[in-house]
Structure 1
Amino acid sequence: MPPLLGRLARLAARGAAPIAAAVAVQSAGNLAFHSVVGRLLDPGAYGALGAVLSAMLMLGVPLGALQTAASALVAEHGLTRDTVRRTLRSVALWSLGPALVVLLCAPLLRDYFHLASVAEAAQLGPYLLVAAVVAAARGLLLGDRRVGTVAMTYVVGTVARLTLGLLLVVPFGVTGALVGTVVAEAASLIVAAGPLRRPDGPRGTAALRLGAVAHAGFAVTGLFLFSTADLLLARHHLGDDASGAYVAAATVAKTVLALPAGIMAAVFPRLLSAWPLPGRGRALATGGLAVAGPAVLGAAVIVAVPSLVLRVLYGDGYADAGNLVRALSAIAATTSLVTLLTNAALARKAWTIAVPWAGAALEVALIEVWHGSPAQIAACSALALAPTLLLMAVLEGRLWARPPRSGPQVAAADADPSRTAATAA
């Protein structure tokens, strides 16, 4: 077996495969949840549920920053009892204030989203608190390479949501479905808490800092805007039918980013550990195959049968959007490389994490000028992607290909000599 394929196989066995499988289960579970709930609730109630779930989805940006920062902390300093205690306590305290604000503003949220009761809006409060602690716990585990446990949190959470959410939606409607969603996060936290109560490392003083979270948040938010700006602007500029076709096509296309995003969570600590070591270029190449490979494969399937995918998910109303799905799927698959390179920049604490922000600004500017059709908006997205990816590849690829100026002469990073950067040094 060629060396690169061998390293990729080891990465898949130790990290990528469990996360990929868990994210696939979660994605299928979410689709099943929406499919069943959409049939049990009337259209108005399902629309209310969708509004609250969309608000929960938007929290994924700051939660992703928490997870990334916690992962980096452990990858650099190791997992210790004090690190676990101080990180989870800090995140809980940071989240408590916003959660209380959400609870106090529940009547306003009820009116804004046209919900049936305050209880429906109030679910955002506990969800914010629990989901933030879960994100930090997953980050701690990912930094310590306990990917299997993280994968299990996704699976258990999905099963809990399907079981309890669908059970409660019949008697309690939207409130029951949301309670199931919150309890699913709590179930994930219980799974993560087991190994975190008994970390392998000794006592230590490393703690999660707001500055590190903000730095990770800057990178995560830039990637989020870069990958979703076209979707938001399409809804603004296009007519109802055209925007509906674009949203449907973009939703299908962006599903190819789900697996790479999960795999990236497992690859990031390895990039951080690899940066000061010989062989870091091989670590980046292996991570690139692990992240971009599933995206390209998923896009290839969609490109081959776009009309069938649209018909299965949305019916016959979007059959004419096949070419749009092809274009957006190719763009989404290529965007996975921007995600990888941005995380590589984050691993070395570099300013190049700002490049996706520039790419998003370019995308917005192009779409503001050319937005006469869905095809024009997709073309603008592709035009913004090309220079963004090229610039990231030149800047990051050149630096990762160089050997470190000085550092520990140990085995190459892709050989996985240790579980943390601290022990590798």
Structure 2
Amino acid sequence: MFERLKSFDQDGLIRHGLIVLVFTHAASVANLLFHVVMGRELSKEEYGVLVSMLGIILLFATPMLALQNTLAHYSRHFINDGRSSDIFRLLKQWVRRLLLVTIPLGVLAYVFRGNIASFFHLETSTIVLITVMTLLVTFFLPIFSGVLQGGESFVWMSITANGWGVIRLLLGAYLVYAYAPSALYGLAAHGIGSVISLAIGITGVLWVVRRGSTSGQAIESTDRYFLVSLATLLAFSMLMNSDAMLVKHYFIQVEDYGNYARASTIGRTMVFLVQPIVVAMFPKVVSRGEWSNAHARTLTRALFYSAVMVLSAAIVCSIFPQIPLLVLFKDAAPTAQSMALVRGVCWAMAPLALTFILMNFELAQHRFECTIPLVVCAGLYYGGVALFHQSLWQMIWVFGAASFCSMVALLIILFRTPKGVQAKGSEDIV
């Protein structure tokens, strides 16, 4: 029986996907419970502030998955080439680079904290400082989770990438119950959880990666791969994580941005559902621009599993929107507007789940044709919202259109790329 299962799962996608699935969904449960605690204990105004600040963290932290992809990609190549000890050279290089970026950013955030608080209609700049400091810590997490992912050390990688969620839940619940129901404490718990996850990631790399004398060979330049990946993921992040932040800017009424924040939290699960599959798929389809029949099979299965999960979740949330509102926010009698917002945001967000799968496949394959379409879709989204923001529904329609267009564009790119042929220009990025 086990031999038959092993032959069915030759690429290890299901086995490794299940490992990541367990840890990721444990983190998802922790994330769910965190929003249950915050959604029930915080006022609608405070919860709206919390979600908008978490949206900022996601907006800028998500593109840093480019760094995780870069480290995973090149770590895998080092391992395949028998150069595991060179991974530490690459890791140190990126730590130094990030320090040169994050320190000035922290100083700028401190200087302009008042301006940022005013833009989001916040009463105190302390929330801005905590948000920025948390964000800067999260910038370093992808370095270590990327190395662990490239080495297929999925347990260590999953704990590093998701451990902060459990810590955030426990500490956030304590602070809110023991002191005050404030967005400030939720953000502080997020920051402390990120610091602890970073420590776990450092420990995991030191434990897992084989040390020894370096190969003496030059480290391949990762700059272009990282920068193009960064642009790609930034565009995707603008599509996925900007909605609550934009609503907070354009709508100052608590009923508007508060209700939308709740719908956005529920809708974003559409993308989070497929993350375990993406993480397990990435190292299995790494190439220098060519994709084989094995890669095609892995991608097809990843798309199928993801489509089933996302479609099922969207249908359930459409038929029974009152259930997530009750579970998450203790809203036993949601208004018709609240339920309609849940339906709308879920369907607007759903295509991004498949966009996420397709984008990561292209990045793993060293093909970057997806970058320009995603940048265009993100630009159209922001431009559309700037023109049409007289109502929440105008913003949702713009969001849904941009989301759907991104999925269609990446599917077209996928079908245009012949199997077994190196993508044009991909050799220049190695």
User: 1:235: Cα distance to partner?
Assistant: 6.6
User: 1:220: Cα distance to partner?
Assistant: 0.8
Matched to 1:266, the amino acid is: A
Q: 1:185 to 1:367 in 2, by over 3 A?
A: closer
Which residue in the other structure is 1:96 paired with? 103
- Give SS of 2:168's match: helix
Q: 1:128 to 1:117 in 2, by over 3 A?
A: closer
For residues 11 and 233 of structure 1, what CA distance do their matches in structure 2 show? 37
Which residue in the other structure is 1:63 paired with? 64
Number of residue-to-residue matches in the alignment: 403
Matched to 1:163, the amino acid is: L
- Give me the CA root mean square deviation: 4.1
Matched to 2:95, the amino acid is: L
1:345 aligns with 2:362: yes
Matched to 1:64, the amino acid is: L
- Give SS of 2:370's match: helix
Structure-2-length-normalised TM-score: 0.76
Moved more, 164-173 or 178-187: 164-173
For residues 68 and 239 of structure 1, what CA distance do their matches in structure 2 show? 38
For residues 291 and 23 of structure 1, what CA distance do their matches in structure 2 show? 15
Q: Assess if the C-alpha contact under 8 Å between 2:91 and 2:143 holds in 1.
A: no
Which residue in the other structure is 1:414 paired with? none
Q: Assess if the C-alpha contact under 8 Å between 1:110 and 1:121 holds in 2.
A: yes
Which residue in the other structure is 1:200 paired with? 210
Which residue in the other structure is 2:139 paired with? 132
Give me the identity figure in percent: 20
Which residue in the other structure is 2:148 paired with? 141
User: 1:151: Cα distance to partner?
Assistant: 1.5
Q: Assess if the C-alpha contact under 8 Å between 2:374 and 2:406 holds in 1.
A: yes
For residues 148 and 97 of structure 1, what CA distance do their matches in structure 2 show? 34
Per-residue CA deviations over 1:101-142 (Å, capped at 9, x if unaligned) read 334555666777645575x55434542442222121112211
For residues 385 and 49 of structure 2, what CA distance do their matches in structure 1 show? 30
Which residue in the other structure is 1:182 paired with? 191
- Give SS of 1:351's match: coil
1:392 aligns with 2:410: yes
User: 1:143: Cα distance to partner?
Assistant: 1.9
Q: Assess if the C-alpha contact under 8 Å between 1:8 and 1:286 holds in 2.
A: no
Q: Assess if the C-alpha contact under 8 Å between 1:311 and 1:319 holds in 2.
A: no
Matched to 2:12, the amino acid is: R
Q: Assess if the C-alpha contact under 8 Å between 1:123 and 1:178 holds in 2.
A: yes
For residues 129 and 246 of structure 2, what CA distance do their matches in structure 1 show? 30
2:373 to 342, 355, 379: 355
Which residue in the other structure is 2:285 paired with? 271
User: 1:253: Cα distance to partner?
Assistant: 2.2
Q: 1:405 to 1:369 in 2, by over 3 A?
A: closer
For residues 386 and 39 of structure 1, what CA distance do their matches in structure 2 show? 33
Q: Assess if the C-alpha contact under 8 Å between 2:51 and 2:261 holds in 1.
A: no
Moved more, 201-210 or 70-79: 201-210
Q: Assess if the C-alpha contact under 8 Å between 1:61 and 1:221 holds in 2.
A: yes
Which residue in the other structure is 2:275 paired with? 261
Q: Assess if the C-alpha contact under 8 Å between 1:229 and 1:363 holds in 2.
A: no
User: 1:272: Cα distance to partner?
Assistant: 2.2
Moved more, 314-323 or 237-246: 237-246
User: 1:188: Cα distance to partner?
Assistant: 1.0
Q: Assess if the C-alpha contact under 8 Å between 2:55 and 2:244 holds in 1.
A: no
- Give SS of 2:334's match: helix
Q: Assess if the C-alpha contact under 8 Å between 1:65 and 1:216 holds in 2.
A: yes
Which residue in the other structure is 2:307 paired with? 292
User: 1:182: Cα distance to partner?
Assistant: 2.2
1:163 aligns with 2:170: yes
Moved more, 46-55 or 147-156: 46-55
Q: 1:107 to 1:298 in 2, by over 3 A?
A: same
The equivalences for 1:236-255 within 5 A come to: 248-255=262-269
Q: Assess if the C-alpha contact under 8 Å between 1:48 and 1:115 holds in 2.
A: no
Q: 1:302 to 1:74 in 2, by over 3 A?
A: same
For residues 123 and 239 of structure 1, what CA distance do their matches in structure 2 show? 22
Matched to 2:367, the amino acid is: K
Q: Assess if the C-alpha contact under 8 Å between 1:371 and 1:377 holds in 2.
A: yes
Give the structure with the larger helix fraction. 1
For residues 160 and 118 of structure 2, what CA distance do their matches in structure 1 show? 34
Matched to 2:233, the amino acid is: V
The equivalences for 1:5-154 within 5 A come to: 6-7=8-9, 10-14=12-16, 16-37=17-38, 52-78=53-79, 79=84, 80-105=87-112, 114=122, 118=126, 121-124=128-131, 126-154=133-161
User: 1:59: Cα distance to partner?
Assistant: 3.0
Per-residue CA deviations over 1:147-178 (Å, capped at 9, x if unaligned) read 22122224532332233344445358766554
Q: Assess if the C-alpha contact under 8 Å between 2:369 and 2:413 holds in 1.
A: no
